[in-house]
Chains A and B, each alone.
Chain A
């Protein structure tokens, strides 16, 4: 797994692979929010640099690499557009374990696979609304009105993930 090689061994080859996979996709996301080509590439560079620097915070028992990078990318783009740091939640007292629990990592992967399948089953119109919401194209009015977000079909997948995550977080608190 590339991300763990980056986290634990500072492996540059693995980081290059992560870059090859995510940078072109991240550029697509950043371009959606109206950044020009040059600014988009700057933001993608900053995102990937943050991935390198904050690798120690990555926890494969709680999230897939794509979820973790998604949030870094959203934070980074907001910081650039608003020119101020976005408030982020308190870090949990998490320390990377050398050997992540394989069964938990597999559970995260399985859920992510099912989530993608659920997303794939959306109609094109539903898909468009979901993409708008998660890639930052909602207006303030959309957010206030609470209408039109067709979470229904993917909600059951989110709920399943929630149960597992709650369990993980409880474990972190109890340690």
Chain B
């Protein structure tokens, strides 16, 4: 695997550890950490800060029977939880988000495909597949967008992004990512607002495709 050069910003790692990051962004961070030892180490360091703060918390009284209740539950049957593993370019948390089934691609035109993993009021997250050499439609953002490359690479005005690299785009970035020649570029992209395409036709298609 190529060297990862674009990492998760510190504030997003803290928010991820604390659980304040919206679900769509949390999936991207979990996927990146799965691919990046540096950010895994950084996350564990933030967890150490959380642990140190926990040690300093005041003691709050518990109900009298709480401990006995819990001790009695130790032998309860453990509910079955499916264990997901990496599948090709998809790290385990992405496979989990697809519930173990592969992506269900829908065509967006020009060979570009997407598979929406979740979309609600707090944001959306989807997989994008862009043929090598192909451009993604020009768009601006109404919010924060995280794009993690799972396979292949793309480049835009801000740099080159290969497998494992994370691009963080804010409201003001208007960029035109182009996939590198070679295998399809597969990305995991999360946003807290609908993307707004600048050209008229894609904008009309937006409600249709939820892009």
Contacts and interface: CB of A to CB of B under 8 A. Distances in A.
Interface stretch (B30-38, B100-108, B130-138, B195-203): B30-38
A77 B54 contact: no
Contacts of A105: none
A26 interface: yes
B157 interface: no
Contacts of B62: 23-24, 27, 41, 44
A16 B11 contact: no
A71 B144 CA distance: 25
Contacts of A158: 42, 45-46, 48-49
A149 interface: yes
Interface in A1-50: 12, 15-16, 19-20, 22-29, 31, 41, 44-45, 48-49
B70 A48 contact: yes
Given A25-B59, A149-B11, A70 B23 contact: no
Nearest to A26: B54
Given A28-B59, A45-B66, A143 B21 contact: yes
Contact of B192 (A27, A130, A137, A140): A140
A71 B52 contact: no
B156 interface: no
Contacts of B48: 63-64, 67, 111-112, 115, 158, 161
A52 B41 contact: no
A123 interface: no
Contacts, number: 200
Nearest to A37: B63
Interface in B19-69: 19-23, 26-27, 29-31, 33-34, 37-38, 40-63, 66-67, 69
A69 B74 CA distance: 17
B63 A41 contact: yes
B136 to A, nearest CB: 23
A52 B37 contact: no
A52 B74 contact: yes
Contacts of B46: 134, 158
B73 A133 contact: no
Interface centre among B10, B47, B97, B144 (most CB of A within 10 A): B47
Contacts of A24: 59-62
B86 A90 contact: yes
Interface centre among B9, B70, B74, B78 (most CB of A within 10 A): B70
Interface string B90-105: 0111001100000000
A165 B70 contact: no
A116 B49 CA distance: 8
B66 A75 contact: no
Contacts of A15: 71, 74
B18 interface: yes
B189 to A, nearest CB: 15
B19 A25 contact: no
6 contacts: A28-B60, A90-B86, A130-B53, A135-B53, A138-B18, A143-B21
